[in-house]
Amino acid sequence: MENNREQWSSKASFILAAAGSAVGLGNIWKFPYIAGENGGAAFLFIYLICIIVIGLPILNIEILLGRTTKKNPVGAFKAITNNPFWKYVGALGVLASFTILSFYSVVGGWSLAYTFEAFVGTFDSFTVKNWSPEYGMPNPESAARFFDIQTKNPFWILGYHTLFLSIVVFILLSGVRSGLEKASKFLMPILLFILLILVIQGLTLPDANKGVSFLFQPDWSKISGQTFLLALGHAFFTLSLGMGAMMTYGSYLSDKDDVVNASYLVAFLDTVIAIFAGVAIFTVVFSSGYDPTAGPGLVFHVLPPLLSNLVGGYYFAFLFFLLLSIAAITSGISILEVSVAFLVDERKISRKKAVLFMAGLVYLAAIPCALSFNVLSDYTFNFQDKALTFFDIADYLASNLLLPFGGFFLAIFAGYVWGIDEVIRNLLIGESNSIYFGNGVVKSKGFKPAFSFTVKYICPVLIFLVFLYSIGWI
Ligand code: PHE
């Protein structure tokens, strides 16, 4: 089914791009605050189970479906089955990509803004220099106030959202190899390097062990049904699953490249980076005696003053927000690419027109999310005793409903429509350089029954139960 579709120049490029998609605000902004609010290590444990049991098989299937059909999510289902139902499942993915990008672009904008603020030294004013001659007193309250004042300004928030989306558009306009691939190859190593610096500096802080044990010593009493819902939703979000992003990236793979090995590597990198981000953040938070349950504002309220109080803090704060911006950009491009590939394949529109058209739609869709912090802050909808703004709804809808829904249908599709035998036959196509992590695993005796049982029963049932919980039925 090879056609003249653009392809990654190598498997390594694909892995970097897919890891670029997976590693994003989910790992650095979201993971630390949901782990912080849900018991740290206890959350991490359940999240890891979700990644291994549900995330990995679905990741394999998504990439495989893309590689086999060389199509966007709508076209991919159509290429395998005539049943029109599945094309709507693909379309749900395109809808999810819109929903996610509409709030993602707003937070991506904040990250850019904070990189700029760190650069011009704004965070210095959050520290009470005179309190202690040595360290000063970190003051997240003034940082929270700063965040509030900025986000209350519609021009600030819309301006940075525009900047973020423009960067995404600029990269996408250059195509797969010179856009997506080049950006990931350039940005991902920088991201890893910055993260390592931040982890090392975190571990050298006084009381760093408190932050580390928060992340690794589970307090089981903190686990509830909500923890499962959040952990599952986050597993989908962080691996970019359930809306066809990995499928679309997989569609630019050649049949020579094996899928299993790539999936392991992407999931591994994503998980390690989330844990590293957790270590970098919680060591700083705990060493300053702050509460890790600050919510979505954790990295924006708490980190600027805490980081800039450290020796060399100006640089650490700048590096941290640069890291966040890079992670957001390499994921943002993969989110928009889903709907771009859809238009290019299905409507035969030029790439340039598709990018501009879809970005224009996302731009409009993001306006209510951006204005949720100011002009539209009073427009809230009550759901399970919480008043949700447009921003909260987009986030909740995407992570806890649309993505797990997409994953549910993908498991059903692979298990019952495409068929496990076909899936396995395709998984075996492509050279593997590892007997442990590549095709060797697929060839091993126990693989088929285990994979089949997981895809046909465990994934759909678990996702369905969590779904029933999320709508309040159990
Ligand atoms: N995985 C990205 C993150 O962790 C978000 C994302 C979701 C990207 C869905 C693509 C598709 O931030």
Q: Which two tokens stand for residue 379?
A: 């427009």
Whether 67 contacts 257, CB under 8 Å: yes
CA torsion sign for 110, 113, 119, 120 is negative
C-alpha 335 to ligand 1 mean position (Å): 7
Determine if ligand 1 sits within 6 Å of the CB of residue 266.
no
Question: In terms of Cα–Cα distance, which of 273, 356, 367 is closest to 26?
Answer: 273
DSSP sequence for 127-155: EETTT-TTT-EE-HHHHHHHHHHHHT-HH
Asked if 180 and 337 count as a contact pair (C-beta separation under 8 A), the reply is yes
Rounded to the nearest angstrom, the distance between the alpha carbon of 330 and the centre of ligand 1 is 9
Q: What is the pLDDT along the chain (474 residues), one digit of tens a residue?
A: 445 788 999 888 999 999 999 999 999 999 998 898 888 899 999 999 999 999 999 999 999 999 999 999 999 999 999 999 999 999 999 999 999 999 999 999 999 999 999 999 888 887 765 444 444 556 777 888 889 899 999 999 999 999 999 999 999 999 988 888 988 888 989 988 889 998 998 899 888 899 999 899 888 888 888 888 889 989 999 999 999 999 999 999 999 888 998 999 999 999 999 999 999 999 988 887 787 887 778 889 888 887 887 778 889 899 999 999 999 999 999 999 999 999 999 999 999 999 999 999 999 999 999 999 998 988 888 877 788 999 999 988 888 889 999 999 999 999 999 999 999 999 988 876 566 667 778 888 888 999 999 999 999 999 998 888 877 777
Residue from 319, 308, 398 nearest 102 by CA: 398
Report CA(259)–ligand 1 centroid distance (Å): 19
Choosing from 331, 362, 401, 405 the residue with most ligand 1 atoms within 8 A of its CB, the one to mutate for a pocket test is 331
C-alpha separations of 377 from 369, 372, 382 in Å: 10, 5, 13
- Residue 171 CB neighbour total at 10 angstroms: 23
- Cα of 132 vs centre of ligand 1, distance in Å, is 41
pTM here?
0.92
Q: Which atom of ligand 1 is nearest to the CA of 332?
A: 8
> Is the beta carbon of 237 within 6 A of some atom in ligand 1?
yes
Q: Tokens 């224009």, residue?
A: 360
Could you tell me if the CB of 22 is within 6 A of ligand 1? Answer: yes
Cβ(238) – ligand 1 distance below 6 Å = yes
27 lines ligand 1 (CB under 6 A): yes
Which domains, from first to last, does the chain contain? 11-470 (1.10.4160)
Q: Is 331 in the pocket of ligand 1 (CB under 6 A)?
A: yes
